[in-house]
Amino acid sequence: MQDVQDDLLARAKAWLAEDPDADTRAELARLIDAEDHAELTARFSGTLQFGTAGLRGELGAGPMRMNRSVVIRAAAGLAAYLKKQGRHDGLVVIGYDARHKSADFARDTAAVMTGAGLRAAVLPRPLPTPVLAFAIRHLGAVAGVEVTASHNPPRDNGYKVYLGDGSQIVPPADADIAAEIDAVRTLHDVPRPDTGWQTLDDAVLDAYLTRTDAVLAPGSPRTARTVYTAMHGVGKDTLLTAFARAGFPRPTLVTEQADPDPDFPTVAFPNPEEPGAMDLAFAKARETAPDLIIANDPDADRLAVAVPDAAEATGWRMLRGDEVGALLATHLVTRGAHGTFAESIVSSSLLARIAAKANLTHVETLTGFKWIARVENIRYGYEEALGYCVDPEGVRDKDGITAALLITELASTLKQADRTLLDLLDDIAVEHGLHATDQLSVRVEDLSLIAAAMNRLREQPPATLAGLPVTTAEDLTRGTDTLPPTDGLRYTLDGARVIVRPSGTEPKLKCYLEVVVPVAEHAGLPAARAKAADLLTALKRDLSTAAGI
């Protein structure tokens, strides 16, 4: 035991000796002086793993935390990878959000790229992630880095990597970059000059905003009134400018959440999907009676939408991501869209029916916009987790700014006809069947609980769920005819579908549920909704039992 503890302290002291950050040096020194073996073990039990989601984790000292030492190694690995790909003097664009240490991580990345002989350009200030995704292709960069933890808790930060096509990395690039990161033995081997990179001016932001103009139909109605929350993130200024350019009424701000604040003081989790996160927006809407509420997550690549609904206690109902996905798809079809509609496997099958009716190609991908954005000839893509790509020629990623413009255009068009988004959702249900979705999501402290639940489902797959026979059970680790392998399970039932997978960015087991109820067979929408609600409740109950969660 003493040898193990001595080795742990030795590794911590070696890390401390090359840590460039005064804050994490002081933090680690305190742990070493206190001989806090439990905390040191948590921080030095391995390394934060780089994958298709890049890096994401809790801020702090040590290789299992997000800090400048980890970021410098990640940047050095990316630089080495790019040079092995022949991109010796290519441009790397770097963006960042307003979280703790984001600006430091961006500056370190620029220094590492410059020291490696690449060219580096940093966005002028904290800006939405879609601006970085746009800038990569606009500037002809070979790669891009966005420093963000998106909607994670305030203690986290992250590091998202894009290649020159403007899409996030996918295999095998992730493993190749990870191997180069592992090859970095000491930070002393990583040149980090103090100067040599470019800080961009607002020209790239202006170019992005010019591109947002193209999202809307010329001469379309622009009358819908909105309440907007930036969820303490970086979306406000960009969204307000985009709305002003488009000619929409200025959104009414949720002032308590309008400006960047890395501590996210009004929310437990800065994610519009989390309970309570939208309470201030609902309160502002009750004061001002807008046509809809729009919300971005902190890096503004996601969009949440809420609509007036007297049946709700708050007077407002959050639309599910699948509902917004169907509304935007229907709007684009009405406007004469051409090309391919794409979605991840965990999103509603309704998009396939909308595309088929419009004689458009439909493609399913694995979870994540890194896959959706790569679909050939993509015109529109979405994922149920509030992500929408409505202008793939401009941004090959989810974009909460352009999606907000498009949903507000749709609300304006309906308003002109004295109709609402809920009216259109009813029309879609009558035409294609009521596609009702829900999610069973379990957050854990012990990741082994997720593995245990997946193993239990694999070893004892359910024969029925909600009284419906399971007609097909697929272990997605084996891949399918159209999908590469991934850690997940898919059950097809008569009139329902269930997908179970571990989250790629959070310690959660996520179960995606969908039931399809023909409206005509149930004598109208109210009866169909009641049937769907009963089925979803039963699916949650039975799946929870089967997984032991």
Q: Which of these is catalytic: 150, 167, 348, 349?
A: 150
Note if 69 is an active site residue. Answer: no
**Type of residue numbered 457:** L
Q: Does residue 231 come out as left (phi exceeding 0), alpha (psi in the -120 to 50 range) or beta?
A: left
Q: Does residue 474 come out as left (phi exceeding 0), alpha (psi in the -120 to 50 range) or beta?
A: beta
Residue 169 half-sphere exposure, CB side, CA atoms within 13 Å? 27
Q: Six-digit token pair at 452?
A: 């245990």
Please give the Cα distance from 375 to 366 (Å, whole number). Answer: 11
Sorted by sequence, the CB contacts under 8 Å of residue 505 that are 6+ apart come out as 53, 56, 150, 152, 158
Please give the Cα distance from 126 to 123 (Å, whole number). Answer: 7
Q: Six-digit token pair at 114?
A: 């410059």
Please give the Cα distance from 306 to 321 (Å, whole number). Answer: 11
| DSSP 8-state class, residue 48 | P
Residue 39 half-sphere exposure, CB side, CA atoms within 13 Å? 12
Q: Six-digit token pair at 107?
A: 């500056």
Write down the number of H helices and E strands in the chain: 17, 21
Of 300, 320, 329, the residue nearest 233 (C-alpha): 300
Q: In what order do the strands lie in the sheet with 292-296?
A: 252-253, 226-229, 292-296, 303-308, 316-318
Determine the length of the chain: 549
Please give the Cα distance from 491 to 470 (Å, whole number). Answer: 6
Please give the Cα distance from 308 to 226 (Å, whole number). Answer: 11
Q: Does residue 344 come out as left (phi exceeding 0), alpha (psi in the -120 to 50 range) or beta?
A: beta
How many other C-beta atoms are found inside a 10 Å radius of the C-beta of residue 154? 20
Would you give the distance in Å from CA 242 to the centre of its chain?
A: 21
Strands 91-96 and 143-147: parallel
For the chain, how far is it from start to end, CA to CA, in angstroms? 35
8 Å CB contact between 289 and 279: no
Backbone angles phi and psi of 445, in degrees to 5: -90, -35
| DSSP 8-state class, residue 126 | S
Q: Taking the CA atoms of the chain, what radius of gyration do you get in angstroms?
A: 24
Please give the Cα distance from 94 to 108 (Å, whole number). Answer: 10
How many other C-beta atoms are found inside a 10 Å radius of the C-beta of residue 32? 17
Please give the Cα distance from 295 to 95 (Å, whole number). Answer: 21
Please give the positions annotated as active site. Answer: 150
